[in-house]
Amino acid sequence: MRYYNPNNTPIEWNADIGFRGLPRGNILWGLYGGYDRFRSSTSRYFSQVNAGFEFWFNKVFLGANAYVPVGTKEYDNIDLLGQAFIVSTSIPYQYNIAYNDQHDERVLPGADAELGWDITHGLTVYGGGYYFHHSGFTTVAGPKLRATYTFYRTNRHRLLGLFDRIRFEGLVTHDTPRGTSWFAGIRFTIGLAKQPNPTFGVIRHMADPLRRDINGVSEAFNTEDFLRDSNGDKVNVDRADGSNITIDNAVSDTTAEIVGVIGEQTPSSILDVGDHALTITGGIYNFTIGNHTYGVQAGDNGSITSAVLDPIIEMTGTNDVNIEHLTLSVDSSGDNAIAIVEPTSSLGLLTAARWSIFQEFAYDITPLLRGTLFGIYNPNDKSYVIVPSLSYSVITNLDLYFVAFFFEGAPLTEYGEYGTTIYARIKYSF
């Protein structure tokens, strides 16, 4: 029987019952069955029953097990973050975003078997394989190699004065979905009998643990697609690293919907976004498809700096331009990092102000506390929004974030009718 409860999570456990017989001095056989309750890599729980046999003849071992799932065998549409990835295109610097919009997980029926050989009195090696399969899921199959070395109690003296045997063991497996896995351990056996157990021939294997180490949980990403724009075309991503493509070229590329900034980039002239929708990000780009939210690493520690440009980025046009996870900084003589110009709508209706000025200040108050202050001001209609925020790292992987939006302006101006909004977020990463 085994009980496993790491970090107070729901438990894993198994229970087995079996029988071993010794009809002759050089033959040992056994039959057993059991029940397993185990957790997958996505913290889903599965159950299975198993049955197996083993047979020793002199120094040769043969054993096999069969596994049958019971209870909940499959979880459909598991919502996992991060199942999106950048895919290269034929253009060296341009990429698309692919994602999996349905993720299923299932415990598979299967079997394993192995042959063993007593090389020396204490050293035994085993070789075999396993096979788990269900239609629609990746088959889990591959070889396994196991070895044990056992120190036995001799005469009437226990090992270290306490143990009947000390066993070192190791296991290596390899299959396509999970790659190479290994296990190493040590077992201590304390006998209740006053007299030592025999340590010769097959009889010394009477107290060996059962040999079944594999569970077959497989994943299926049933639908893979590309992130597409409103026209049904794949979303293009330019990654500005200053080598394959500069930040100037990436921002001016009218075929790109997303620009990922990698490291610190210095533009050679004011970045004119022009009249097309664009997201410029120095980190993860998030998007939602149905009920699934995905994040893909478009940029990496992105920042755009200049000692002379004022502003660094100028946005003209009627489409949305988003700047996310990106540090912008200019020389102290500069007035602002971003300026936006939006022309009057051809429909003649009231729209956003013709001129808008952006500015952001950020400061690490302590190594764990960071404050930012962001503002947008429209000189024409005198409306503005001020966005202060604080982020605090409470402990490792636990963060608090507070942000407020203060809108001000006359009625019918761009920011005059939104009021005040305050948000608080607690984020735990695992």
Q: Is the pLDDT of residue 235 over 70?
A: yes
Q: Is the pLDDT of residue 37 over 70?
A: yes
Residue 376 lies in a domain: yes
Residue ranges making up the domain that contains 412: 358-430
pLDDT, one tens digit per residue, over 270-316 is 888 877 788 999 999 988 877 677 888 999 999 998 888 878 888 77
Residue 345 is predicted with a pLDDT of 40
Domain limit, last residue, from 189, 218, 247: 218
Residue 181 is predicted with a pLDDT of 86
Domain limit, last residue, from 171, 200, 218: 218
Residue 85 is predicted with a pLDDT of 85
**Rounded to whole angstroms, how far apart are CA atoms 375 and 158?**
77
**Rounded to whole angstroms, how far apart are CA atoms 393 and 397?**
8
Higher pLDDT, 318 or 360: 360
φ, ψ of residue 270 to 5 degrees: the values are -60, 130
Residue 53 lies in a domain: yes
Residue 392 lies in a domain: yes
Q: Is the pLDDT of residue 334 over 60?
A: no
Q: Is the pLDDT of residue 5 over 70?
A: no
Residue 308 lies in a domain: no
**Rounded to whole angstroms, how far apart are CA atoms 58 and 414?**
88
Position 197 confidence tier, pLDDT thresholds 50, 70, 90: low
Residue 407 lies in a domain: yes
Residue 427 is predicted with a pLDDT of 84
Q: Is the pLDDT of residue 317 over 70?
A: no
Residue written as token pair 């024409």: 380
Average pLDDT, the chain: 82
**Rounded to whole angstroms, how far apart are CA atoms 387 and 395?**
25
**Rounded to whole angstroms, how far apart are CA atoms 362 and 401?**
14
CA angle 17, 19, 24 (to 5 degrees): 165
Domain CATH code at residue 14: 2.40.160.160
What residues contact residue 276 under an 8 Å CB cut-off, 6+ apart? Answer: 254, 317, 319
Residue 81 is predicted with a pLDDT of 44
Residue 124 lies in a domain: yes
Q: Averaged over 157-185, what is the pLDDT?
A: 85
Beta bridge partners of 285: 296
| pLDDT above 90: percentage of residues in the chain | 30
Helix (H) or strand (E) holding 69: strand 60-70
Position 79 confidence tier, pLDDT thresholds 50, 70, 90: low
pLDDT, one tens digit per residue, over 345-404 is 443 433 356 677 888 898 888 888 889 999 988 887 788 889 999 998 888 888 899 999
Residue 203 is predicted with a pLDDT of 84
C-alpha 87: how far from chain center: 18
The model's pTM is 0.49
Q: Is the pLDDT of residue 143 over 90?
A: yes
Higher pLDDT, 92 or 188: 188
Q: Averaged over 113-128, what is the pLDDT?
A: 93
Q: Averaged over 124-129, what is the pLDDT?
A: 94
Higher pLDDT, 5 or 201: 201
Number of domain units in the chain: 2
Higher pLDDT, 236 or 38: 236
Domain limit, last residue, from 218, 234, 256: 218
Residue 45 lies in a domain: yes
Residue 125 is predicted with a pLDDT of 96
Contact between residue 395 and residue 415 where contact means Cβ atoms under 8 Å apart: no
Residue 347 is predicted with a pLDDT of 38
* Strand bridging mode 369-377 / 355-366: antiparallel
Q: Give the pair of three-digit tokens for residue 283.
A: 């980190």
Sign, CA dihedral 100-104-109-111, equals positive
Residue 310 lies in a domain: no
Residue 231 is predicted with a pLDDT of 82
Sign, CA dihedral 309-312-317-318, equals negative
